[in-house]
Structure 1
Amino acid sequence: MAPAVAILAASSLALSACGGANNPDTGSEANGAENGGEVSELSGTINAGGASSQETAMTEWTQSFAEIHPNAQVNYAAVGSGGGREGFLSGEYLFAGSDAAMDDDEYEASKEVCGPDGAFHVPAYISPIAVAYNVEGVDTQLNMDAETIARVFAGEITSWDAPEIAEQNDGVDLPSTPITVVHRSDDSGTTENFTEYLHAAAGDVWEWEPDGGWPSDITAESAQQTSGVVSTTSDTDGAITYADASQIGGLQSVAVGVGGEYVPYSADAASNAVASSPRVEGQAPNNMAVELDRDTEEAGAYPIVLAAYSIFCNQYEDEATADLVRAFAEYIVSEEGQQAASEAAGNAPLSADLRAEAEDAISQISAG
């Protein structure tokens, strides 16, 4: 069955906690808004939560959606990817944001709240993950290959003038400042994506399996969510972290070694990485989760990328819920929605092919 989360209608209309029918007055403009000559009839509230990496984009989407549909509201809590998936599977959220796809066990669990086809992923927010640092006196982009990045984050390289860093940055006056690694303390899809890259691209240097939690045997500083690690790094001379590139503020970033050259992050390189990656198999027919190629040697590719998913049910409890969620999903993947998010958050807009695939996947949302 579909999630038992109520849609609370605007104004005086209310639904029961188990999800009653929402029947807006389709003949009254008081229940809608003029939008391109059409009256919006959507009314209700969507509660959702998940990855903090896409919080800026989600804020833009929810505000713009409310302007198009004044009686519809979307509330998004940036509780982290793990918290978002957990809330979604428990029925607390009508959709989740996650920097990592559900595993097979989570997908099977989603059938309890999303009907026989379970949930599906749409990579609505694509962004590079920056390896960001704050070193007094170093105001330029540094080069590092995958092995060097892994040794830094593993605590094996402990000062900024270490030979492994210096030899890749001729002409840069590197201080002997100690390196302070800052990682996420919460279960994070950004951590999972970053450790996937280290595990795939750094060979035996990174011995830990990819995971949403940071390896417990690596001693380092930690902070909650993207804003926390960026703030801690900004306040600490010699600090280095990993974070959604759109949210690193004034921090410097690493150009990553790929195929004999050093590639800085860019939106286009991130989008191409997702578009060229194979799909995850064995879940919903309309699933768009991908297996990213982390150790690519393709020229100009930036392999530390996250595809932050919006995870939706294929089947919701009633037509009103399905209509509202479908409308929001359609907006965020639309050309207008993707451009708005890109301007606000710096992410990479979906390519035309990915957008068409996403629109088809979303069109299959139905009521149980």
Structure 2
Amino acid sequence: MKGFPLKRMVALPAVAALAFGLAACGSENESGGDDGDSTKEGTQLSGTLSGAGASSQDAAQQAWSAGFLEKHPDVTVNYDPIGSGGGREQFTQGGTDFGGTDAALEGEELEAATKRCGKVVEVPTYISPIALIFKVEGVDELNLKPDTIAKIFNQKITKWNDPEIAKTNPDAKLPDTAITPVNRSDESGTTENFVEYLSAVAPDAWPHEVSGDWPVKGGEAAQGTSGVVQAVKNGSGTIGYADASQAGDLATVKVGVGEEFTAYSPEAAAKIVEVSERVEGRGEYDFAYDLARDTTESGAYPIVLVSYAMACAEYDDKKTADLVKAYLSYMVSEDGQAAAAESAGSAPLSDALRKQVTPAIEAISAG
């Protein structure tokens, strides 16, 4: 686990991760304003919070932690970016105070979280495109249709000069180079979101079940988002998927949406959430979304992850509840979202979505 007191957080490069949940105010505290500081003037938060989860939000986590700890310098945030699967496991088993995940709790994990918490708080805090990154000599950009993307990652298209790729890239000098798909080796919310996209838009070319575990053998596997980025960067003829905030200077794919090819951007990612619906039949404080991956909306980028903060509506002690409540409040605030957007290129939550999730965060308390 990594501790991030304020002085270290300001000095470190963008590394930390979707730290979802920390924050709060007790029953004597007032509801926060736009800056997310929900404590009364003169109230001093202190203590340590432990969390684990998605590795995709390193830059956003640093921004959130630095902004929050500037207001509350006696708070230490420990976050282990072990991936969404590990974060969900540790949170549901009671090993962490909060968790971060790029895929909402489901099935046995949701049942385990409910058993631990009574009522589960699960709110979106980070919306980001998943970029398709590649390194092919002499090629700076690519237009790829959904079926083509699915066939590449399913290893049915194996050369970069394949006619199907050439058809949508008539001006590119595509080499006779083998394609090396790079995927996550660990269970990952980024993987689950990408596979969910492939399953929705190209079911014939992608016959695999949706899961956080990569289903295709034979490609190159790497640990975490940073591992995938490094594998693509260090390889030749490589292509992978990663949170767009970590794409760096690698070339990226424009994805076919309807009759257009759309590049990733925060604005294009936010459009998907706007046309998506909340999953029914979950708890009152659970804001999981069924993303409209197969949209044909102009200007929409469909390969996105919506990262959630996992927390309990009720904790055993007031100090933990206060910290979790206050930190979540800061992350979804205008200030917190602006900090993440500047640092990680994420899409800020809309005012309407912020108003919807705020009552769930305000419900966090101690038993």
Tell me what 2:342 maps to.
343
Tell me what 1:129 maps to.
130
Shift of 1:218: 2.8
Tell me what 1:257 maps to.
256
CA deviations on 1:275-332 (whole Å, 9 max, x unpaired) are 3311122221121110111111111111101001111111111222111110000000
Task: Find out whether 1:89 has 2:92 as its counterpart.
Answer: yes
CA distance, structure 2, for counterparts of residue 145 and residue 188 of structure 1: 24
Shift of 1:89: 0.9
Shift of 1:51: 0.2
What is the TM-score when the length of structure 2 is the normalising length?
0.88
Shift of 1:37: 9.7
Shift of 1:270: 1.0
Q: Is the 8 A contact 1:199 1:206 kept in 2?
A: yes
Task: Write out aligned runs for 1:62-211 (5 A).
Answer: 62-115=65-118, 117=119, 119-139=120-140, 141-211=141-211
CA distance, structure 2, for counterparts of residue 105 and residue 339 of structure 1: 35
Q: Is the 8 A contact 2:271 2:301 kept in 1?
A: no
Task: Find out whether 1:237 has 2:236 as its counterpart.
Answer: yes
CA distance, structure 1, for counterparts of residue 49 and residue 355 of structure 2: 24
CA distance, structure 2, for counterparts of residue 85 and residue 35 of structure 1: 27
SS where residue 254 of structure 2 aligns? strand
Tell me what 2:226 maps to.
227
Tell me what 1:315 maps to.
314
Tell me what 1:10 maps to.
none
CA distance, structure 2, for counterparts of residue 40 and residue 249 of structure 1: 40
CA deviations on 1:74-129 (whole Å, 9 max, x unpaired) are 111100000000110111111111010000322221122212x2x12111010010
Tell me what 1:272 maps to.
271
Change (3 A) 1:190 1:36: closer
Letter in 2 for 1:318: D
Change (3 A) 1:363 1:63: same
Q: Is the 8 A contact 2:232 2:239 kept in 1?
A: yes
CA distance, structure 2, for counterparts of residue 144 and residue 123 of structure 1: 29
Structure 1's unaligned 5+ residue stretches are: 1-22, 27-33
SS where residue 290 of structure 2 aligns? coil
Aligned length: 333
Tell me what 2:11 maps to.
none
Asked which structure has the greater CA Rg, the reply is 1
What is the TM-score when the length of structure 1 is the normalising length?
0.87
CA distance, structure 2, for counterparts of residue 96 and residue 302 of structure 1: 27
Letter in 2 for 1:126: I
Letter in 1 for 2:190: T
Shift of 1:359: 1.6
CA distance, structure 2, for counterparts of residue 354 and residue 156 of structure 1: 40
Q: % of aligned pairs identical?
A: 52
Tell me what 1:18 maps to.
none
Q: Is the 8 A contact 1:81 1:188 kept in 2?
A: yes
SS where residue 109 of structure 2 aligns? helix
Shift of 1:54: 1.2
Tell me what 1:214 maps to.
214
Tell me what 2:5 maps to.
none
Q: Is the 8 A contact 2:38 2:326 kept in 1?
A: no
CA distance, structure 2, for counterparts of residue 284 and residue 340 of structure 1: 29
Q: Is the 8 A contact 1:155 1:218 kept in 2?
A: no
Structure 2's unaligned 5+ residue stretches are: 1-25, 30-36
Task: Write out aligned runs for 1:288-307 (5 A).
Answer: 288-307=287-306
Q: Is the 8 A contact 1:180 1:220 kept in 2?
A: yes
Shift of 1:261: 0.8
SS where residue 171 of structure 1 aligns? coil
CA deviations on 1:28-86 (whole Å, 9 max, x unpaired) are xxxxxx99993341111110010001122112111221111011121111000000001
Task: Find out whether 1:246 has 2:245 as its counterpart.
Answer: yes
